[in-house]
Amino acid sequence: MRDLLPPGVALQGERGIAFVIAGPSGAGKSSVISALLARDPRLVFSVSVTTRPPRPHEVHGRDYYFVSAAEFDRLLAEGALLEWTEYQGHRYGTPKSEVVPRLEQGLDVVLNVEVRGALALKGAGLGHPVVLIFLVPPSWEELVRRVRGRGTEDEAALRERLRIARHELSCIPAFEYLVVNDELEKAVARVEAIIQAERMRVVRCA
Amino acid sequence: MRDLLPPGVALQGERGIAFVIAGPSGAGKSSVISALLARDPRLVFSVSVTTRPPRPHEVHGRDYYFVSAAEFDRLLAEGALLEWTEYQGHRYGTPKSEVVPRLEQGLDVVLNVEVRGALALKGAGLGHPVVLIFLVPPSWEELVRRVRGRGTEDEAALRERLRIARHELSCIPAFEYLVVNDELEKAVARVEAIIQAERMRVVRCA
């Protein structure tokens, strides 16, 4: 196919692309991302660093790097984070080391970040395309049901999550794609279509 | 899902989208489009008008509207064509009536046009998104093989087709997507991924 392209033109998929998945609590980001990673060997997950305690079944180095507040401060001071945000009293950040070397190797990196973090990544000057995907449950009613069903928090924390969710939804216009997660399989196929399409985009080489 | 969107925001797929498939001779545009139409009832085909004589198996009103030069002149004079081009001594045009009413009904329209026609459609001010997809065979060698294999023309016409093909490839940078047609099934799935992704794009309402 290369011999058909005029000089200075490439497919976006020939270089690494950052696919950022954000969305409110209950959108199902983790489940969708797990399924994506299991199916596509060109995708690697960017493990975020956080000061929040692990939930049951969460594994250090797989789901998050769980660190102390002092360790988080050190990473910040070293400039080791591409972006960071505070959410419900805990800090979350994206280590450069999880993203930049993989993109440079030509791998596509999937990130699960807060909405504000997604917008920060878009402006982070990565030198690689950053595709912002907003994942939502099929309705507000279903969002509330999923957040309640998780049952890991008291009523006040839950109300706070819903307030934050409503605010996050107001950021949808800053995203490129909106994916509805009504059924996991369908949502995964939708995100896969976006990934496939973005790889076929025509770009001018640097 | 609508209750989750902030005011003034919509999915691109809530309105009609024009998907323009172009590419050189031997790319397999017609085969890919036939398969797409058979699978997706939201897609309708825009039948072009042409002054060239029908090939065997081509049907008036399905593959093209075959018209006389005088009839083509009349359509042009009436402003009934969105774009038109001349190719190997014959004229080809896109009737407004094949595109505009369908987009306004919320259907997605698939167009099979010459490369210059595709670029003209992008600038035609349709008031609906126009997505340009360039279809190519897997290599120049395969392009030549396919054009020869068609065997509907003499050697001079064939050489002219190859010269035009090389020129058309130089227009790839003006397209949004490049799809390789190595195997029909794979190429159809690739274009389907683009169509699905474009429908999930976040847009601001007018």
CB contacts, 8 Å: A178 with chain B: 5, 11, 200-202
Residues whose CB falls within 8 Å of the CB of residue A161, separated by 6 or more in sequence, listed in order: A25, A88, A147, A153
What per-residue confidence (pLDDT) applies to A12? Answer: 95
Q: Tell me if A1 and B136 make a contact (CB, 8 A cut-off).
A: yes
- So what's the pLDDT on residue A96? 97
pLDDT at A152: 63
Q: How confident is the model at residue B198 (pLDDT cuts 50, 70, 90)?
A: very high
ipTM of the prediction: 0.93
Smallest Cα–Cα separation from B188: which of B19, B20, B37, B16? B37
Residue B148 is predicted with a pLDDT of 86
CB contact under 8 A, B194 and A198: no
Q: Which of A94-98, A109-113, B37-41, B201-205 comes out lowest in average pLDDT?
A: B201-205
- Rounded to a whole number of angstroms, the distance from the CA of A162 to the nearest CA of chain B is 12
Rounded mean pLDDT of B35-57?
96
Interchain CB distance below 8 Å, A176 and B9? no
Range in B46-55, B80-89, B104-113 the model is least confident about = B80-89
Structure confidence by residue, pLDDT tens digits, A101-154: 999 999 999 999 989 999 999 988 899 999 999 999 999 999 999 988 866 668
Q: CA-CA distance, B203 to B83, in Å (whole number)?
A: 26
Residue B184: its pLDDT value, please? 97
Which residue stretches of chain A have pLDDT < 70?
Answer: 150-153, 206
CB B21 within 8 A of CB B32: yes
Average confidence (pLDDT) over B46-58 = 95
Fold of A2-46+103-204: Rossmann fold (3.40.50)
CA distance B169 to B166: 5
pLDDT for residue A99: 97
Q: Average of pLDDT values for B107-124?
A: 94
Chain-chain contact of B6 with A172 (C-beta, under 8 angstroms): yes
Distance CA B84, CA B78 (A): 13
Give mean pLDDT, residues B85-90. Answer: 88
Predicted confidence at residue A147, as pLDDT, reads 87
Total-model pTM: 0.94
> Which residues of chain B lie closer than 8 angstroms to A170, CB-CB?
6
Q: Any idea which residue has 């950021």 for tokens?
A: A171
Distance between CA atoms of A36 and A39, rounded to whole angstroms? 5
On whether the CB atoms of residues B172 and A196 are closer than 8 A, the answer is no
Instruction: Look at A197 and B202 and tell me if their CB atoms are within 8 Å.
Output: no
Three-state SS for B21?
A: strand
For residue A171, what pLDDT is reported? 95
Instruction: Return the pLDDT at A87.
Output: 81
Query: CB of B62 within 8 A of CB of B33?
Result: no
Residue range B23-38: mean pLDDT, rounded: 95
The contact set of A with B (CB < 8 A) is: 1, 3-6, 8-9, 11, 134, 136-140, 143, 169-170, 172-173, 175-180, 190, 192-194, 196-198, 200-202, 204
Q: What DSSP state is assigned to residue B171?
A: T
Looking at residue B64, its pLDDT comes to 95
| Phi and psi torsions of B132, nearest 5° | -100, 120
Given an 8 Å threshold on Cβ–Cβ distance, is A8 in contact with B136? Answer: no
With a cut of 80, say whether residue B111 has pLDDT above it.
yes
Q: Is B61 left (phi over 0), alpha (psi -120 to 50) or beta?
A: left
Neighbours of B148 (CB within 10 A): 14
Q: Do B193 and A198 touch (CB under 8 A)?
A: no
Rounded Cα distance, A9 and A188, in Å:
30
Per-residue pLDDT at B152 exceeds 70 = no
Q: Which residues of A touch B177 (CB under 8 A)?
A: 197, 200-202
Note whether A52 and A164 are within 8 A (CB).
no
Query: If residue A110 lies in a helix (H) or strand (E), which one and from where to where?
Result: strand A108-112
Q: For residue B136, which residues of chain A lie inside 8 Å, CB to CB?
A: 1, 4
Task: Kindly report the CATH class assigned to B2-46+107-204.
Answer: alpha beta
Separation between Cα atoms, residue B10 and residue B105, nearest integer Å: 16
Q: What's the whole-number mean pLDDT along residues B29-47?
A: 97
pLDDT of residue A20: 98
Are the CB atoms for B103 and B18 separated by under 8 Å?
yes
Rounded distance between C-alpha atoms, residue B191 and residue B206, angstroms: 27
A178: which strand partners?
A: A134
